[in-house]
Structure 1
Amino acid sequence: MIDIKEDSLLDATGLYCPEPVMLLHNKVRELESGNVLMVVATDPSTERDIPKFCTFLGHELLEQIHENETFRYYIRVGES
C-alpha cells in the first residue's frame, strides 16, 4: 500500500450496482484533471466495474484495496 492523499471522497457504501459507478461518473465531472478521488464501496461488483470505468474513460486507478467487506479505490482523474 502506498501513501496517497486524496482531494475528494465518494462514499458509496451500502449501494449496489449500478449506483456506485453512476455516482462515480457524476463525481469525476466535478473534479479537475489530476485530482485524486477516493471511492469507498461495499458492493463486490465494484472490483470489476471501477477498473473498467477508469480504463474506458481515461482515469488512472492508482490503488485498489479490499479490507474485510470494504473496497477502496484511489483514482487520478484524467482529461475530460
Structure 2
Amino acid sequence: MTYSISRTLDTCGLNCPEPVMMLHKVVRDMAAGDIVEVIATDPSTSRDIPKFCNFLDHDLLTQEERDNRFYYHIRKKQLDGL
C-alpha cells in the first residue's frame, strides 16, 4: 500500500486519554483523505485508537508495534459522494 503521510503526531510519554484527545484535534484540522501517523508508547492506544477510528468512520490503514512504540496510520474519512 502506497500513500503519503500528511502529518505525524508524537504522543510518546502520554497516557490515556491524552493520545486520543490529541488525535481528535489533529484530525479535525485535516482535509478529507489526509493521513496522519500516530506514534505512542501507551499500550491502551492499541484499543483506543481503533475504537476512535471505527466510531468516527476514519480508516485505520496500519497498526503495528516496534521497539516498544505503537504506530498507526489513519486516513480521515472522505466526504460523502467522493
Write the distance in 2 (CA, Å) between the matches of 1:6 and 1:71: 16
Write the distance in 2 (CA, Å) between the matches of 1:62 and 1:72: 11
- Mark the runs of 5 or more structure 2 residues left unpaired by the alignment: none
The structure with the largest alpha-carbon Rg is: 2
Matched length: 79
- Please report the RMSD computed on the Cα atoms of aligned residues, expressed in angstroms: 1.4
TM-score (norm 2): 0.90
Query: Identity over aligned residues, as a percent?
Result: 49
- Mark the runs of 5 or more structure 1 residues left unpaired by the alignment: none
Q: 2:8 aligns to what?
A: 9
Write the distance in 1 (CA, Å) between the matches of 2:20 and 2:76: 14
Structure 1 runs of 4+ aligned residues shifted over 3 Å read none
> Secondary structure of the equivalent of 2:27?
helix
Kept in 2, the 8 Å contact 1:58–1:79? The answer is no
TM-score (norm 1): 0.92
- Per-residue Cα deviation, 1:39-76 (whole angstroms, up to 9, x for no partner): 00000000000000000001000000101210000000
